[in-house]
Amino acid sequence: MEFLYKQTAGVTKNQEQTTVTRLKPYISQLRGVAQKNNYEDLESSINCCVDTQVVNEVKSLVQKKVSKQLAYIIVIGIGGSNLGTKAIYDAIKGYTDNVSTDTRPQLIFIDTISKKLLSNTIKFLLEKKVTSQQLLICSISKSGNTTETVANTEIIINLLGQHISDIASRLVVITNKDSDFWNAAVKRNIDVLAIPELVGGRYSIFSTVGLFPLAAAGFNIDELLIGAQEMRELCISKTITKNVAALSATILYHQYKKGKIIHDSFVFESELESLGKWYRQLMGESIGKEKNKQGKVVNIGFTPTVSVGSTDLHSVGQLYLGGPKDKVTTFIYSNNSIQKDVVVPKKRLFDELIPMINQKSSHQIMSAILQGVKIAYKKKRLPYMEISFSCISEKNLGAYMQYKMIEMMYLGFLFNVHTFDQPNVESYKIETKKFL
Amino acid sequence: MEFLYKQTAGVTKNQEQTTVTRLKPYISQLRGVAQKNNYEDLESSINCCVDTQVVNEVKSLVQKKVSKQLAYIIVIGIGGSNLGTKAIYDAIKGYTDNVSTDTRPQLIFIDTISKKLLSNTIKFLLEKKVTSQQLLICSISKSGNTTETVANTEIIINLLGQHISDIASRLVVITNKDSDFWNAAVKRNIDVLAIPELVGGRYSIFSTVGLFPLAAAGFNIDELLIGAQEMRELCISKTITKNVAALSATILYHQYKKGKIIHDSFVFESELESLGKWYRQLMGESIGKEKNKQGKVVNIGFTPTVSVGSTDLHSVGQLYLGGPKDKVTTFIYSNNSIQKDVVVPKKRLFDELIPMINQKSSHQIMSAILQGVKIAYKKKRLPYMEISFSCISEKNLGAYMQYKMIEMMYLGFLFNVHTFDQPNVESYKIETKKFL
C-alpha cells in the first residue's frame, strides 16, 4: 500500500509541520498503548492485530466448526459487526457473487431486517437442500442487544431449524463477554467468541468479529494481520514522513478547515465499494459529533461518501468537476492484479469504433481514465490523495484498514472530539422502543 | 406513491408560494411540451411514457429475440444507460441475486471496465454452458462512443463468441440514430433501437434504454409506463397542491439556500439502494454545475447521497443526528409488500433477549425504527420529506422516477442552470484520450 499526496493535497509544508507537532504527544500515547499490549485503553483496537491468543482461539473454533463440506456462512450483524468483513469479502470474492462459480464458502450478509433478503436466503438454502455441515451461522452483536441482529437470528434459526434439527450447533455468537447475548448463548451450550470491551464495532475488524467469519470462509487471516501489523508500526512511528496516518489526518483536518466538508473515497475497482462503505462508517461515527470533548455544541464532522470509478464519472463526475468545491478526495486503486487480464481483441466486431482501445487491456483503459481524472482534478484545483495497492489481497486490505483506523484516531484528536463514542444514535433507539 | 412534507420540510407557506409562482411559467412550458407530444424540446423525455410507437417497437423486438429459454441478459452500459434499469431490476428482483432461485431471466450489468466482473461473468456463463437462445446482450450507449461500453462489448462478444457461433445475432444495440455505433450495427445486420436525440441518458429510463432490457427480462413495462403517465399528469398540473414535483423542487431549493447542500435519499428497503443511485446521477449531473445559464461561474449543486435503513443508522446515523446540519433528507419506504412477511417466532431460541420483538413481523420492526428515526430528526430540527409506496411495483417505481425527473427540471429552472447538459465531464475524457 502506497500513500501519495505531494503537490495534490493542497496543504502547505508549514501547515503540515504545525499540525504534526500537535499530534506528537498523541502519537506517543498510541505507542504506549501498543507497548502495554492489552485492552485497557480506548485506542486498544490497535493491539488486535498482534493478539496471537485470539488468532489461536479463532482457528481452533474454525477447526471445530468447518469441514470441507462448508458451503454457506450466514453473517448476521449490522454496522461495525459486518461492514469490515463484507469489505474484505467483496474485495476478494463477493462482488461478483451474482455470477459466482467459486468454490470458497459463500458469505451471505443479513445486515438489516429485510423480508426479501430473509425469505430469499431461506428459499435459496432450502432449494440447495443445505445440510448441517454445509452451513454456519455467525451472529454478531457487540452490545448483545441489537434489535435487528437478535430478530434476524431468531427468524433464521426458526425457519432453517424446521429442516436442520441441530441448527443451534451451527451457530457461533460473537459479542461482549458477559453481555445478555453471551450469557444466553453459554447457557445453551452455543459456541461464543468475545469482543474486547473497549474495541468498538467500527474498530473491530481484526478482533473475532472479522477474523472468525473470514477464517471460516477460507481467507488468509495471517496475511491480513501481517498487513495490519506492518502498517501499525508505520502509523505509530515518530518519523512523520513514514507515518501515513498522521499525514493524511493532517491533510483532512486542514481541508475541513478550508470548507472541504465532504470526504470522497473514490475507488477505481468496483469490488472496493464495500471497503469504501466500511470507511464511511469509521469516519461518520468517529468524527461526526454534536459536542466536542468539553461538551460544547459544535455539530462537526466530514460527510464521507463513496464513489466508484469509472461508473460514477458517468453519474456524479459532472458535479465533482463543476459543482461546489466542498470535497477532498482519496483515489483508491490497484496497480495490478493476480487475475489474468481481459483484453480488447485485435479482430473486433465494430473495428471502426474508438480504434485507440485496440488490444488494450482492461487495466490499461482504467489506468488511462484514472490518469485523465487526476489531471482534470488538478486543473480544477480539487485536492486529492491517493492510495495505491500492488494488488487486492488480504495483506494490502489489512494494511489499509489498520492505517485508516489509526488515521481516524488522529483526526478525532485534531477535531477535539470523543472518537470512540456514538451518543446521538441512542436518540432514535429510545423512540423506536416506544413503537415496538 | 405518496409525498409527505408538511411540518417537517422546514419551508414556510410564504416561501412555498413565492417559489411556486416563479415556477408557473415553466410548468406551463412543460404542459406545452406534453401537448406537442414529440421529441423537439430539451424536456421531451416527459413524452417517452406515452410513446406507444416505441412500446410496440420494443415489444416486437422482444418477441423476435426472447424465447422461454432466455436465462441471462447482459446489459452493457454506464451511467444513464444502465442506472435506471438497474434501479427497477434490483428493487423488484436483483438485490438478492447472490441467493437467487428466481426463474425470471437474470440481468447481469457490465457497467465499467472490470477484469473481475468480465472474467467471472464469462466463466459463469461458460460453466452454465449457455446457449445462444439462453443469452441476450444489450449494448447501450447514447453517444455511441462510450469507451467502457464499446470495450466491454468487444471483450464479451469475443470471449463468448468462441463458444456461441451466432453471438452477433444475440446482440441488440441501443443508441442515438445515426451515431457511429448505430451505423456500425446496421451495417452488420445487428438489431438496433433508437434513443431520441434530445432525451439524455439520465432521463432515458422510459425510452428504449430501459424498456427493452426490462421487457426482455419479463418486467411489466405497461405498468411502469402507467405509473409514469399518471405521475406526469400531476407533475405538469397547475394545481400546485397536486404537483408534487413542483413542491419538492421548491423545498429543495429553499433548503439549499439555507445551507443544506447535501440531499440524502434515505431508503428504508435495502432493495431500493440502486433507485437511490439512479437519483444520485439525476441530481448530480442535472444541478451540479460550474456555470449558470448566463455563463457566470457559480459552482452550484447539491451533493446527492444514498443511505439505507436500518443498516446506515449503524454507520452514518451518528453523523446525521449529531454532525453538521448541512443535509435535507427524503425518506423512501414501502408500506406493504406483495411478499409474505417473516415474523419473529413465538417460541424463540433466546427468549430472554429483547422480548418486545416477540411475534413482530419484519415490517413492524422496520416501521418502528423508521418512526423512531423520524422523531429523532424532528427533535433535532433536521428537515425531511417522505415518499411512501403502497408496495414496490413497476407502477410505483415508474411514478417515482417520472416524478423525480420532472422535479429535477423544476429545480434546474430555480437554480438557473442548464439542466440537461454535463459539460465538465468532457475535461477528464480529453485527458484520458492522451493516455490511450
- Going by the DSSP 8-state scheme, the letter that residue B5 receives in this structure is -
Q: Which residue, among A88, A89, A123, has the nearest Cα to A105 in the 3D structure?
A: A89
Same domain, B196 and B110: yes
Block residue for cell numbers 465538465: B424
| 3 state DSSP class of B85 | helix
> What is the pLDDT at residue A341?
85
Q: Do B433 and A150 touch (CB under 8 A)?
A: no
Q: Do B354 and A96 touch (CB under 8 A)?
A: no
Q: Is B424 on the interface with A (CB under 8 A)?
A: yes
The answer, yes or no, to whether residue A234 has pLDDT greater than 60, is: yes
Q: Do A371 and B435 touch (CB under 8 A)?
A: yes
HEC letters along B154-219? HHHHHHHHCCCCCHHHHEEEEEECCCHHHHHHHHCCCEEEEECCCCCHHHCCCCHHHHHHHHHCCC
Give the nearest partner residue to A339 out of B116, B180, B364, using CB atoms.
Answer: B116
> What is the pLDDT at residue A338?
56
CA distance A239 to chain B (A): 32
Domain limit, last residue, from B180, B202, B219: B219
Mean pLDDT of chain B: 96
Q: What chain A residue is nearest to B319 in terms of C-alpha separation?
A: A288
Q: Is residue A235 part of a domain?
A: yes
Mean pLDDT of chain A: 96
Same domain, B369 and B263: yes
Q: Is residue A188 part of a domain?
A: yes
Reading phi first (left if > 0) and then psi (alpha if -120 to 50, else beta), residue B392 is in: beta
Same domain, A153 and A60: yes
Interface of B with A in 110-169 (CB under 8 A): 111-121, 123-125, 127, 144-148, 150-151, 153-155, 157-159, 168
Whole-Å CA distances, B395 to A375, B43, B142, B331, B357: 44, 22, 25, 19, 33
Q: Do A357 and B299 touch (CB under 8 A)?
A: no
Q: By the 8 A CB rule, do A264 and A307 touch?
A: yes
| 3 state DSSP class of B228 | helix
Q: Is residue A436 part of a domain?
A: no
pLDDT confidence band for A436 (50 / 70 / 90):
confident
Does the annotation mark B429 as catalytic? Answer: yes
> What is the pLDDT at residue B339?
62
Q: Do B321 and A425 touch (CB under 8 A)?
A: yes
Mutate one of B316, B366, B419, B420 to test the A interface: name it (highest A CB count within 10 A).
B316
> What is the pLDDT at residue B436?
86
pLDDT confidence band for B348 (50 / 70 / 90):
very high
- All three cell numbers of B76: 452493457
> How far apart are the C-alpha atoms of B262 and A34, rounded to whole Å?
39
Q: What pLDDT, in 10s, does the model give residues B371-408?
A: 999 999 999 999 999 999 999 999 999 999 999 999 99
Same domain, B267 and B349: yes
Give the nearest partner residue to B427 out of A303, A376, A434, using CB atoms.
Answer: A376
Q: Is residue B429 part of a domain?
A: no
Q: Which residue, among B136, B207, B140, has the nearest Cα to B167 in the 3D structure?
A: B136
DSSP states of B110-163: E-S--HHHHHHHHHHHHHTT--GGGEEEEEE-SSS--HHHHHHHHHHHHHHHTT
| 3 state DSSP class of B107 | strand
> How far apart are the C-alpha atoms of B99 and B48, rounded to whole Å?
34
Same domain, A160 and A288: no
> What is the pLDDT at residue B336?
72
Kindly give the interhelix angle for A244-257 and A13-36, rounded to the nearest 10 degrees: 130
Q: Is residue B319 part of a domain?
A: yes
Same domain, A68 and A168: yes
Q: Is A185 on the interface with B (CB under 8 A)?
A: yes
Percent of residues, chain A, with pLDDT higher than 70: 99
Neighbour tally for A174: CB within 10 Å: 31
Q: Do A356 and B301 touch (CB under 8 A)?
A: no
HEC letters along chain A? CEEECCCCCCCCHHHHHHHHHHHHHHHHHHHHHHHHCCCCCCCHHHHHHHCHHHHHHHHHHHHHHCCCCCCEEEEECCHHHCHHHHHHHHHHCHHHHHHCCCCCCEEEEECCCCHHHHHHHHHHHHHCCCCHHHEEEEEEECCCCCHHHHHHHHHHHHHHHCCCCCHHHHEEEEEECCCHHHHHHHHCCCEEEEECCCCCHHHCCCCHHHHHHHHHCCCCHHHHHHHHHHHHHHHCCCCCCCCHHHHHHHHHHHHHHCCCCEEEEEECCHHHHHHHHHHHHHHHHHHCEEECCCCCEEEECCEEEEEECCHHHHCCHHHHHHCCCCEEEEEEEECCCCCCCCECCCCCCCCCCCHHHCCCEHHHHHHHHHHHHHHHHHHCCCCEEEEEECCCCHHHHHHHHHHHHHHHHHHHHHHCCCCCCCCCHHHHHHHHHHHC
Task: Quote the strand ranges of B5-71, DSSP E.
Answer: none
Could you give the residue numbers annotated as active site of A? Answer: 285, 314, 429
Residues of A in contact with B147 (CB under 8 A): 354, 357, 365, 369
Whole-Å CA distances, A297 to A124, A257, A262, A291, A416: 49, 17, 20, 4, 12
Give the nearest partner residue to B154 out of A317, A344, A430, using CB atoms.
Answer: A344
Give the nearest partner residue to B431 out of A317, A349, A371, using CB atoms.
Answer: A371
Q: Lowest-pLDDT range, A92-106, B16-30, B136-150?
A: A92-106
Domain limit, last residue, from A219, A243, A261: A219
Give the nearest partner residue to B368 out of A326, A350, A436, using CB atoms.
Answer: A436
Neighbour tally for A340: CB within 10 Å: 9
Q: What chain A residue is nearest to B356 in terms of C-alpha separation?
A: A436
The answer, yes or no, to whether residue A325 has pLDDT greater than 90, is: yes
Q: Is residue A433 part of a domain?
A: no
Q: By the 8 A CB rule, do B367 and A422 touch?
A: no
Same domain, B262 and B208: no
Q: How many residues does chain A have?
A: 436
pTM above 0.90, yes or no: yes
Q: What pLDDT, in 10s, does the model give residues B85-131?
A: 999 999 999 899 999 877 789 999 999 999 999 999 999 999 999 99
Rounded to whole angstroms, the maximal C-alpha distance in chain A is: 70
The answer, yes or no, to whether residue B431 has pLDDT greater than 60, is: yes
| B297-314: average pLDDT | 97
The answer, yes or no, to whether residue A183 has pLDDT greater than 60, is: yes
> How far apart are the C-alpha atoms of B287 and A336, rounded to whole Å?
36
| B163-191: average pLDDT | 97
> In whole angstroms, what separates CA A258 from the centre of its chain?
27
- All three cell numbers of A127: 432449494
The answer, yes or no, to whether residue B338 has pLDDT greater than 60, is: no
Q: By the 8 A CB rule, do B420 and B197 touch?
A: no
Task: Indicate the helix (H) or strand (E) that contains B43.
Answer: none
Residues of A in contact with B344 (CB under 8 A): 151, 154-155
Q: What chain B residue is nearest to A358 in terms of C-alpha separation?
A: B151
Residues of A in contact with B436 (CB under 8 A): 356-357, 360, 364-365, 368
DSSP states of B257-296: HTT--EEEEEESSGGGHHHHHHHHHHHHHHH-EEE-TTS-
Q: Is residue A63 part of a domain?
A: yes
> How far apart are the C-alpha atoms of A382 and A387, rounded to whole Å?
17
Mutate one of B126, B303, B305, B351 to test the A interface: name it (highest A CB count within 10 A).
B303
Same domain, B303 and B154: no
The answer, yes or no, to whether residue A339 has pLDDT greater than 70, is: no
Q: Do A373 and B428 touch (CB under 8 A)?
A: yes
Q: By the 8 A CB rule, do B308 and B95 touch?
A: no
Q: Do B155 and A337 touch (CB under 8 A)?
A: no
Q: Is A391 on the interface with B (CB under 8 A)?
A: no
Q: By the 8 A CB rule, do A275 and A91 touch?
A: yes
Phi/psi of residue B95, nearest 5 degrees = -55, -30
Same domain, A251 and A373: yes
> How far apart are the C-alpha atoms of A14 and B94, rounded to whole Å?
51
Q: What pLDDT, in 10s, does the model give residues B202-224?
A: 999 999 999 999 999 999 999 99
Q: Lowest-pLDDT range, A97-106, A256-265, B187-196, B412-421?
A: A97-106
> What is the pLDDT at residue B422?
96
Sign of the dihedral through C-alpha A417, A418, A422, A423? negative
The answer, yes or no, to whether residue A51 has pLDDT greater than 80, is: yes
Q: What pLDDT, in 10s, does the model give residues B52-97?
A: 999 999 999 999 999 999 999 999 999 999 999 999 999 999 899 9
Q: Is residue A429 part of a domain?
A: no
Interface of B with A in 18-47 (CB under 8 A): none
Residues of B in contact with A291 (CB under 8 A): 322
Domain limit, last residue, from B188, B219, B250: B219
The answer, yes or no, to whether residue A100 has pLDDT greater than 90, is: no
> What is the pLDDT at residue B53?
98
Q: What pLDDT, in 10s, does the model give residues B30-50?
A: 999 999 999 999 999 999 999
Q: Which amino acid is at A221?
A: I
Residues of A in contact with B108 (CB under 8 A): 98-99
The answer, yes or no, to whether residue B335 has pLDDT greater than 90, is: no
How many helical (H) and strand (E) elements, i.e. helices and strands, does chain B have?
14, 12
CATH of the domain at A155: 3.40.50.10490
Phi/psi of residue A2, nearest 5 degrees = -120, 140
Which residue segment(s) compose the domain that A110 sits in? 41-219
Same domain, A26 and A52: no
Q: By the 8 A CB rule, do B238 and B34 touch?
A: no
Q: By the 8 A CB rule, do B68 and B190 touch?
A: no
Same domain, A206 and A263: no
Interface of B with A in 273-292 (CB under 8 A): 277, 280-281, 284-285, 287-291
Whole-Å CA distances, B340 to A91, B219, B308: 33, 20, 22
| A127-137: average pLDDT | 96
> In whole angstroms, what separates CA B182 from the centre of its chain?
25
Give the nearest partner residue to B365 out of A124, A151, A188, using CB atoms.
Answer: A151
Q: By the 8 A CB rule, do A315 and B277 touch?
A: yes
User: How many alpha carbons fall within 13 Å on the CB side of residue B350?
Assistant: 31
Q: Is A259 on the interface with B (CB under 8 A)?
A: no
Same domain, A373 and A401: yes
Q: Lowest-pLDDT range, A17-26, B324-333, B335-344?
A: B335-344
Structural domains counted in chain B: 2
Q: Do B100 and A120 touch (CB under 8 A)?
A: yes
Does the annotation mark B285 as catalytic? Answer: yes
Residues of B in contact with A373 (CB under 8 A): 428, 431-432
Q: Is B99 on the interface with A (CB under 8 A)?
A: yes
> What is the pLDDT at residue B157?
97
| 3 state DSSP class of B307 | strand
Q: Do A119 and B342 touch (CB under 8 A)?
A: yes
Q: Which residue, among B103, B82, B86, B104, has the nearest Cα to B95 in the 3D structure?
A: B86
Give the nearest partner residue to A365 out of B113, B299, B357, using CB atoms.
Answer: B113
